[in-house]
Amino acid sequence: MSKSAASPVREYDIVIVGSGAGLDILDMAVEHGHNVALIDRGPIGGTCLNVGCIPSKMLIFPADRIMEIRESAKLGIDAEIKGIDFKAIMDRMRQSVNGDRVKIEKYLKESKALDFYHDETEFISEFTLSVSGERVKGKQIYLVSGSRPLIPSIPGLDSVEYLTNETLLDLVEAPKSLAVLGGGYIGVEYAHFFEAMGTDVTVIEMGPRLLPDEEPEISAFLQMALARRMTVQTECTAESVEKASGGGVIVQTNHSRTGLKAEIRAEKLLVATGRRSNADLLKVSRSGIATAKDGYIKVNSRMETSVKGIYAFGDAIGREMFTHTSHAEAEIAGANGIHGQHLRMDFSAAPHAVFTHPQIASVGLTEEDAAKKYKIKVGKADYRDIAFGSAMLQEEGFAKIILEAESGRILGGHIIGPWAAVLIQEVINAMARKGTLDDIAAGIHIHPALSELIIRALFNVTETD
């Protein structure tokens, strides 16, 4: 008999698995005076803090500065990059992440308001988990167990030491060359970073375009911009991977349309081909919790699983897998579970940004999806059409806004160009209130600021067929 089976059951009002967005529920539960347990095997703080948003953006910020310096010649500035201290950039990132993680760990270990289990857990029966040789039962359970890299089964891949978004953070030297498998979020963000650091980058994307969920013209524009700095191969499948005799890797590829075969050699290989839910590690079916075919936990719009009293959100459910959305979902799950409300999650104004170069930001429906559901109007403006964009000599980049033709309700907004992630915010705010063009135009926009881009796109609105 295992130790956990023999141990008495420790009962809690609330058990939370996951210290990423799971911490939001912890705060609510503690504030409410509940008897609460948090379980996480670590690293504490979850993906965003340790291996996701935070470290990647700490690396991308200097990469963006490098691009500014490279692009400053067009403004008449004769600037030169004399050197890049890759190790210092990586060390700064690691120190910052480690410092924040240690602070969270200290709070969890020292707080008298909760029990913290720093270990792997799995369900053993309904509402009951085993962890560190104990049995832990919750009247309510929140599964915020996140996701991990999805590694494709490509012959030979296991025989090479490939990088993921996790292991690349340990690098102390920039690789001379890097093959990036996958042209999604992680692929295009890190392709930008490594190229800026001086690495010779090749992106291998099996689909017809980078970032397949973006507007097609945004994907095309990004591909054109990245292709000036690196090799970008779309419709390209990795058929096998092997170690190169002199070190590094060889990726054998096949162009899916032409059937042309090629060989890509690189010092390192980054695998960025998507994510999978950690629900399998939790063995959620032992508590009767339903999962979808791809392993993500099924929830209703109240963020409740197929078992009443067990909630799930964040990457574990596989919808809009972003930190800001996880926090919004936590609000709904906590309001319903802890405060007894009946709130529903609305994903219609869930935004995202891709911190590649040029930056991309998007909210709501794409033009194609909007046109399937509504009669629409579309407005578009280039950065160069507005005064500040022109001062920046910003030849490229645009914003596109999609409205419902009759009501003028904003259905979507998409931007590629400098500060896209900031510029999109007023579109998000208007959409969150089911707003129209008037909700954005009501406020006076500062001249000549980049925010005039959105107003200009709205003024350019025309009806589509």
Ligand X SMILES: NC(=O)c1ccc[n+]([C@@H]2O[C@H](COP(=O)([O-])OP(=O)(O)OC[C@H]3O[C@@H](n4cnc5c(N)ncnc54)[C@H](O)[C@@H]3O)[C@@H](O)[C@H]2O)c1
Positions marked active-site: 447
Distance CA 219, CA 203 (A): 14
Binding to ligand FAD in span 91-130, by CB under 6 A:
120-122
418 φ, ψ (degrees, to nearest 5)? -55, 135
End-to-end C-alpha distance for the chain, whole angstroms? 69
Beta-carbon-side half-sphere exposure of residue 396 (alpha carbons within 13 Å): 14
**In the set 64, 189, 329, 367, which binds ligand X (CB under 6 A)?**
189
Binding flag, residue 195, ligand FAD (CB under 6 A):
no
- Residue 187's binding partner among ligand X, ligand FAD, none (Cβ under 5 to 8 angstroms by kind) is ligand X
Cβ neighbours for 365, distance < 8 A, ≥ 6 positions apart:
373, 402, 411, 412
**In the set 26, 144, 297, 430, which binds ligand FAD (CB under 6 A)?**
144
Which of 205, 354, 213 has the alpha carbon at shortest distance from 270?
Answer: 205
Please indicate if the annotation marks 57 as binding a ligand: yes
Q: How far is the CB of 304 from ligand FAD (least distance, A)?
A: 16
Please indicate if the annotation marks 186 as binding a ligand: yes
440 and 454 in contact (C-beta within 8 Å)?
yes
Helix (H) or strand (E) holding 177: strand 177-181
Binding flag, residue 48, ligand FAD (CB under 6 A):
yes
Angle between helix 22-31 and 323-337 (nearest 10): 30
Q: How far is the CB of 407 from ligand FAD (least distance, A)?
A: 30
Distance CA 339, CA 361 (A): 34
Q: How far is the CB of 104 from ligand FAD (least distance, A)?
A: 10
Cβ neighbours for 245, distance < 8 A, ≥ 6 positions apart:
none
**In the set 20, 22, 138, 182, which binds ligand X (CB under 6 A)?**
182
Please indicate if the annotation marks 268 as binding a ligand: no
**In the set 4, 18, 267, 296, which binds ligand FAD (CB under 6 A)?**
18
Please give the order of strands across the beta sheet that includes 231-233: 231-233, 200-204, 177-181, 268-271
Query: Closest-CB residue for ligand X?
Result: 184
Please indicate if the annotation marks 296 as binding a ligand: no
Binding flag, residue 273, ligand X (CB under 6 A):
yes
Structure tokens, 308: 């009443």
237 and 153 in contact (C-beta within 8 Å)?
no
Binding flag, residue 52, ligand FAD (CB under 6 A):
yes
- Residue 201's binding partner among ligand FAD, ligand X, none (Cβ under 5 to 8 angstroms by kind) is none
390 and 384 in contact (C-beta within 8 Å)?
yes
Considering the complex, state which of residue 40 and residue 382 has its C-beta at the smaller distance from ligand FAD: 40
Binding flag, residue 356, ligand FAD (CB under 6 A):
no
Angle between helix 216-227 and 185-196 (nearest 10): 20
- The string of DSSP letters for 246-259 reads TSSEEEEEEETTT-
Considering the complex, state which of residue 105 and residue 205 has its C-beta at the smaller distance from ligand X: 205
Q: How far is the CB of 294 from ligand X (least distance, A)?
A: 12
Binding to ligand X in span 392-411, by CB under 6 A:
none
Which of 407, 409, 384, 386 has the alpha carbon at shortest distance from 397?
Answer: 384
- Residue 338's binding partner among ligand FAD, ligand X, none (Cβ under 5 to 8 angstroms by kind) is none
**In the set 4, 56, 199, 277, which binds ligand FAD (CB under 6 A)?**
56
Binding flag, residue 421, ligand FAD (CB under 6 A):
no
Binding flag, residue 21, ligand FAD (CB under 6 A):
yes
Binding to ligand FAD in span 244-303, by CB under 6 A:
278, 281-282
**In the set 43, 198, 212, 288, which binds ligand X (CB under 6 A)?**
212
Please return the burial class of 191, using the count of CB atoms within 10 Å of its CB with bins 0-12, 13-18 and 19+: buried
Please indicate if the annotation marks 184 as binding a ligand: yes
Structure tokens, 40: 């996480």
Residue 87: count other Cβ atoms within 10 Å of its Cβ.
Answer: 12
Considering the complex, state which of residue 371 and residue 421 has its C-beta at the smaller distance from ligand X: 421
Please indicate if the annotation marks 313 as binding a ligand: no
Please indicate if the annotation marks 102 as binding a ligand: no
Considering the complex, state which of residue 22 and residue 318 has its C-beta at the smaller distance from ligand X: 318
Q: Which residues are annotated as a binding site for NAD(+)?
A: 182-189, 205, 274
Q: Which residues bind ligand FAD (CB under 6 A)?
A: 17-22, 39-42, 46-48, 52-53, 56-57, 120-122, 144-146, 165, 186, 278, 281-282, 314-316, 321-324, 326, 355
Q: Which residues bind ligand X (CB under 6 A)?
A: 152, 181-187, 189, 204-207, 212, 237-238, 272-275, 321-322, 352-355
